[in-house]
Amino acid sequence: NVFQFGTNNAVTCLKAAELVSRDVAGMDINMGCPKHFSISGGMGAALLDKPEVVDDIVRTLVRNVPNPVSCKIRIKPNIQETIDLIKLIENAGAHAVTIHGRYVPERPRQPAHWDLLKEIIDLKPVNIPIIVNGDVYKYEDISRIKEETGADGVMIARGACINPSVFQPEVVPIYDIMREYAATAINLNNNMKNTKYVLMYMCKTKALGRWMSQDPKGLKLTRSKNYETLVQAFDLEEYYPPFLTDTAQK
């Protein structure tokens, strides 16, 4: 697994990296998040215009942790600026770079620019692997974006959050995945707010949207504030009866 950092300086990033280095296979620096909370804190896409900070963060991690280091960026206003940044990242010692196929102001409703990703990769600007990201929602998209862009690899974000089985040819029904995830989260005593956030994200399909708003079990998920209610949404009571003790007494 790869641990991704949202960071704005090398010192705090290294402190965080040292905490997780033994538990992860690689480390990635997020330089592409366009959300306000990220940019306002000097993280994510804010780093695209701070090459000195990028260089410092990458070099610091490469020098001090044993894990491979990569960076995820977005397309900059023009191709040459994007290439210059990729070269800087390579020269700083990164082992790979991921390019998200949108400009910073663009959002998911706007198609990713696979054509621009191809244009960048065709120039062979660096010797490290270039991974691409953007609008990969099903298994077939993986081979398609690699073929159309010439990329070395593919990163999946929203597609995997909506249905993690996107990585295999046969799609698993999303409700089955949600139920398994809920069971695992409860068993590991995962933070309830985090668990609910992930499950709600998986519901970003029309069918599950109706399930959440109309089905009694879907409503339990929507309204759940604790695991006691959550287990009822996925028929997990028999596996996790301790969570129902208070309800049973009432």
Amino acid symbol at 164: P
Backbone angles phi, psi at 135, to 5 degrees: 65, 40
Residue 181 DSSP code: H
User: Residue 191: CB partners within 8 Å, gap ≥ 6?
Assistant: none
Amino acid symbol at 73: I
The C-alpha atoms of residue 246 and residue 120 are separated, in whole angstroms, by 59
- 84 within 8 A of 54, measured Cβ to Cβ: no
The C-alpha atoms of residue 208 and residue 179 are separated, in whole angstroms, by 13
The C-alpha atoms of residue 188 and residue 191 are separated, in whole angstroms, by 9
Among this protein's residues, is 33 annotated catalytic?
yes
Residues 33, 71, 161, 203: which is the catalytic one? 33
CA atoms within 13 A on the CB side of 116: 20
Strand, coil or helix: what is 77? coil
Tokens 């991704």, residue located: 4
- 225 within 8 A of 231, measured Cβ to Cβ: no
Active site residues: 33
